């Protein structure tokens, strides 16, 4: 295929610092030609490997494979960040076209019999540990992709992969539209009693942006729980907001998301059988750190009854406070009332102390400075992919360059819900690259000139996502396949969850939690109350999380050929069978808006958060027992875990840090289940 490369910024590596994509030069019309050229170039590179008359060696086969596809990787990294963070109509149209082609391209590589034979012929003797692991990981990837299947099975596999890629895109784009369309418009400010002036101003601005003639618009975040439910005194408004959230994707005029989800689950089940696994869940968990699917179920089964029992006790206290039975839309509101009474803490009242700029620079960055010696310089000379994106250069304690960090914090109607980290450039000594990473959040943007005040949960998210960013930035591996967060799903959340611990660490919170208007620091007594109240609501939090996790597994433990004619009824049965069906506590994500598993990479993998939290809770206890926020501790964690990526077995990395395997007791204590 001949591709016109004239003026296309993707055709050569960026000359900007750290290889930052030249967003100022990138236009929508550049993507498809770059994808075409990138796929053609990589297939030519693969053909050169298979046509090499020399015997297969690690250098002329495995390393050449690692070097292949650089043009394709450049355009894909930028494009798929855009499809999540700024999915305009042209971007969505390109995604629909390119997704099945990329799936076919991957099949062309991993189902290439000559390439597979050449990898099998590579001698493993004499390789260093990282190189030996790379060869083994490639061989496993070929097997998991179907390289050993006969021609008929491979043909069917290609069809399944193509349809799944198309459905993945369809689900993602439909969910973005459905979430925007489901936002709750309220005409009368009296119905929003309980919200602060800043929240009202933000809701009024959102209504204007959406084209409403006055009134207020409560936009939705991705999970079931919506922040405003904690504060709204008007019960019917709470009900309407809750129902807008929980009914996304399953409303009478948009049952398509449920049908798409059911179809994807069926196709995944069929594909798993082709690859020799009984279910998609068995296939998906086969290459994770969890030893088996049975081990995952054992952990979840141990947690669910205790979590539900805790939730029932919480419900009794809420009903007593409310003076009436608790409905799902009442829970968050009365939970905050009880929290205030039991612990004298009002999380909503803390928002004036959590201004975004201070949280970032004096909190998130400050903790990284103290722990790892990092410095951050905002580079206003370097363009982001959207006017709201900011760029920081990150350097080590000795002044050496580490990478670039991009922050994209505000919600917009072209951005997917939730929060995430992406890599725009992956670190690799083989390719001479340092990391360029981005954090995306969905904080409602206040009117111009007003401060951006965060909820407590949004502060947690800032620290969490920056933990992923550090995992990417600190990567110090030779091969790009192992870089940064390219680790098993049930390990990737571990470093990010550990980073949450610093948000209430004494010297960190004292540095950033100041009233945005007066500069007054948040009183130490208030911080202690927040810590004391940490276990309140754990019954609810654990139950809603387990609901989503067990729903994920139910969808992906369907046997091949099983038909789900009524996805909503299937969901109800699955939650009941798992013992987590509580009317007052729907799962954190329902099928109609479970982006992690139907539009992301977490199918049969949402358990990863609790699995990683076992490591996280044990690690937090280690930091507390060993001096906390010190450079020595940071250097040890960085050198044994964060910079290793997947170049070493992740659990071996944990053992190198901790000196032993993780223990469950710290997690049980944290969640009030011990």
Taking the whole predicted model, whether its pTM rises above 0.85 is answered as yes
What is the residue whose two structure tokens read 């829970």? 331
Measuring CA to CA, which residue among 203, 605, 164, 593 is closest to residue 416? 593
- Write down which residue in 203, 220, 246 finishes a domain: 246
Residue 545 makes CB contacts below 8 A (sequence gap 6+) with 588, 609, 610
Residue 627 makes CB contacts below 8 A (sequence gap 6+) with 633
At residue 3 the predicted structure's pLDDT band, cuts being 50, 70 and 90, is: very low
Residue 6 has pLDDT above 90, yes or no: no
At residue 2 the predicted structure's pLDDT band, cuts being 50, 70 and 90, is: very low
Residue 406 makes CB contacts below 8 A (sequence gap 6+) with 384, 389, 390, 391, 392, 424, 436, 437, 438, 439
pLDDT at residue number 252: 62
pLDDT, tens only, 506-527: 999 999 999 999 999 999 999 9
Assess whether 97 and 62 both reside in one domain: yes
Mean per-residue pLDDT, 208-230: 95
Measuring CA to CA, which residue among 592, 232, 552, 195 is closest to residue 417? 592
* 267, part of any domain: yes
Given a contact cutoff of 8 angstroms between Cβ atoms, the answer to whether 536 and 243 are in contact is: no
Residue 674 has pLDDT above 80, yes or no: no
Residue 586 makes CB contacts below 8 A (sequence gap 6+) with 224, 246, 328, 544, 547
Assess whether 360 and 504 both reside in one domain: yes
For the chain, the average pLDDT equals 96
Could you give the 3-state DSSP secondary structure of residue 123?
A: coil
Distance CA 456, CA 350 (A): 7
Q: Helix %, strand %, coil % for the chain, to 5? A: 60, 5, 35
Q: Is 191 exposed, middle or buried (0-12, 13-18, 19+ CB in 10 A)?
A: middle
Residue 117 makes CB contacts below 8 A (sequence gap 6+) with none
Mean per-residue pLDDT, 85-107: 97
pLDDT at residue number 60: 98
* 17: CATH: 1.20.1050.40
Mean per-residue pLDDT, 495-511: 97
pLDDT at residue number 253: 47
Give me the residues paired with residue 394 across strands.
Answer: 376, 403
* 103, part of any domain: yes
Assess whether 522 and 543 both reside in one domain: no
* 612, part of any domain: no
Which of 248-262, 357-371, 418-432 is the least confident region? 248-262
Residue 432, by phi and psi: left (phi above 0), alpha (psi -120 to 50) or beta? left
Assess whether 391 and 441 both reside in one domain: yes
* 94, part of any domain: yes
Assess whether 188 and 114 both reside in one domain: no
Number of domains, the chain: 4
Q: How far apart are the first and last CA of the chain?
A: 62
Residues spanned by the domain of 110: 9-148
Mean per-residue pLDDT, 32-44: 98
pLDDT, tens only, 541-555: 999 999 999 999 999
pLDDT at residue number 563: 85
Assess whether 508 and 579 both reside in one domain: no
Assess whether 113 and 224 both reside in one domain: no
Residue 50 has pLDDT above 90, yes or no: yes
Assess whether 463 and 377 both reside in one domain: yes
* 408: CATH: 1.10.1370.40
Assess whether 300 and 363 both reside in one domain: no
- Write down which residue in 536, 556, 573 finishes a domain: 536
- The pair of three-digit structure tokens given for residue 324, joined into one six-digit string: 């009436």
The residue from 66, 393, 426, 465 that is catalytic is 465
Q: What is the DSSP string of 389-446?
A: -EEEEEE-TTS-EEEEEEEEEE--TTS-SS-EEEEEE--BTTTTB-EEEEEEEEEPPP
pLDDT at residue number 251: 80
Strands, DSSP E only, in 191-274?
A: 216-218
User: What's CA 385's distance to the chain center, in Å?
Assistant: 20
- Write down which residue in 560, 584, 604 finishes a domain: 604
Assess whether 46 and 120 both reside in one domain: yes
* 451, part of any domain: yes
pLDDT, tens only, 71-85: 999 999 999 999 999
Strands, DSSP E only, in 427-529?
A: 435-443
pLDDT at residue number 1: 37
Assess whether 530 and 553 both reside in one domain: no
Percent of the chain with pLDDT over 70: 99
- The pair of three-digit structure tokens given for residue 30, joined into one six-digit string: 């550049």
* 223, part of any domain: yes
pLDDT, tens only, 437-490: 999 999 999 999 999 999 999 999 999 999 999 999 999 999 999 999 999 999
pLDDT, tens only, 133-180: 999 999 999 999 999 999 999 999 999 999 999 999 999 999 999 999
Mean per-residue pLDDT, 258-264: 96
Assess whether 518 and 556 both reside in one domain: no
Residue 391 makes CB contacts below 8 A (sequence gap 6+) with 20, 378, 379, 380, 382, 383, 384, 404, 405, 406
Active site residue 572: no
* 385, part of any domain: yes
Given a contact cutoff of 8 angstroms between Cβ atoms, the answer to whether 429 and 330 are in contact is: no
* 96, part of any domain: yes
pLDDT, tens only, 599-658: 999 999 999 999 999 999 999 999 999 999 999 999 999 999 999 999 999 999 999 999
């Amino acid at each position: 295929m001949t591709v016109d490369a004239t003026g296309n910024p993707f055709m050569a590596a960026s000359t900007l610092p750290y290889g930052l994509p030249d967003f100022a030069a990138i236009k929508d019309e550049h993507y498809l030609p770059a994808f075409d050229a990138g796929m053609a170039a990589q297939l030519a590179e693969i053909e050169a490997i298979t046509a090499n008359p020399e015997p297969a060696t690690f250098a002329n086969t495995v390393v050449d494979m690692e070097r292949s596809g650089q043009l394709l990787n450049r355009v894909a990294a930028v494009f798929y960040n855009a499809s999540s963070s700024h999915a305009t109509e042209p971007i969505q149209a390109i995604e629909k076209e390119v997704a099945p082609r990329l799936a076919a391209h991957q099949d062309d590589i991993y189902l290439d019999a000559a390439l597979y034979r050449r990898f099998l012929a590579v001698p493993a003797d004499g390789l260093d540990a990282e190189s030996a692991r790379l060869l083994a990981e490639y061989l496993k990837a070929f097997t998991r992709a179907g390289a050993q299947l006969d021609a008929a099975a491979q043909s069917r596999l290609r069809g399944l992969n193509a349809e799944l890629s198309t459905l993945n895109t369809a689900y993602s784009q439909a969910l973005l539209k459905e979430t925007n369309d489901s936002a709750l418009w309220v005409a009368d400010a009296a119905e929003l009693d309980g919200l602060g002036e800043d929240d009202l101003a933000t809701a009024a601005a959102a209504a204007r942006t959406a084209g409403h003639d006055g009134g207020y618009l409560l936009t939705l975040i991705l999970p079931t729980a919506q922040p405003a439910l904690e504060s709204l005194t008007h019960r019917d408004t709470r009900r309407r907001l809750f129902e807008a959230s929980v009914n996304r994707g399953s409303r009478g005029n948009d049952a398509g998301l449920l049908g798409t989800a059911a179809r994807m689950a069926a196709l995944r089940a069929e594909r798993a059988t082709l690859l020799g696994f009984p279910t998609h869940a068995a296939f998906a968990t086969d290459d994770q750190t969890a030893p088996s699917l049975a081990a995952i179920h054992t952990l979840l089964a141990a947690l669910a009854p205790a979590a539900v029992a805790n939730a029932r006790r919480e419900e009794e206290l809420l009903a007593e406070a409310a003076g009436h039975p608790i409905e799902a839309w009442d829970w968050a509101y009365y939970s905050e009332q009880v929290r205030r009474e039991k612990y004298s803490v009002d999380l909503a009242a803390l928002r004036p102390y959590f201004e975004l700029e201070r949280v970032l620079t004096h909190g998130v960055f400050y903790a990284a400075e103290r722990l790892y010696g990092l410095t951050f310089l905002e580079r206003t000379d370097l363009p982001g992919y959207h006017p709201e994106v900011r760029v920081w250069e990150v350097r080590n304690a000795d002044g050496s360059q580490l990478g670039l960090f991009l922050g994209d914090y505000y919600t917009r109607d072209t951005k997917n819900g939730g929060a995430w980290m992406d890599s725009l450039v992956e670190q690799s000594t083989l390719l001479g690259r340092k990391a360029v990473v981005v954090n995306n959040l969905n904080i409602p943007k206040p009117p111009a000139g007003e401060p951006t005040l965060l909820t407590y949960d949004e502060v947690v998210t800032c620290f969490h996502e920056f933990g992923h960013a550090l995992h990417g930035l600190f990567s110090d591996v030779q091969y790009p396949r192992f870089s940064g967060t390219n680790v098993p799903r049930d390990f990737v959340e571990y470093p990010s969850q550990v980073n949450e611990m610093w948000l209430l660490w004494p010297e960190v919170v004292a540095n950033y939690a100041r009233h945005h208007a007066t500069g007054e620091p948040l009183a130490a007594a208030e911080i202690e109350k927040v810590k004391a109240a940490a276990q309140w609501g754990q019954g609810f939090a654990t139950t809603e999380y387990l609901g989503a996790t067990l729903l994920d597994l139910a969808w992906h433990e369907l046997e091949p050929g099983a038909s789900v004619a009524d996805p909503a009824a299937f969901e109800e049965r699955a939650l009941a069978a798992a013992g987590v069906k509580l009317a007052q506590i729907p799962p954190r994500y329902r099928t109609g808006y479970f982006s992690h598993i139907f539009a992301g990479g977490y199918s049969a993998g949402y358990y990863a958060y609790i699995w990683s939290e076992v490591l996280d809770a044990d690690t937090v206890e280690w930091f507390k027992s060993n001096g906390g926020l010190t450079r020595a501790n940071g250097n040890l964690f960085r050198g044994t875990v964060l910079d290793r990526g997947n170049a070493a077995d992740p659990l071996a990395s944990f053992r190198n840090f901790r000196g032993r395997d993780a223990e469950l007791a710290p997690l049980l204590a944290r969640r009030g289940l011990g």
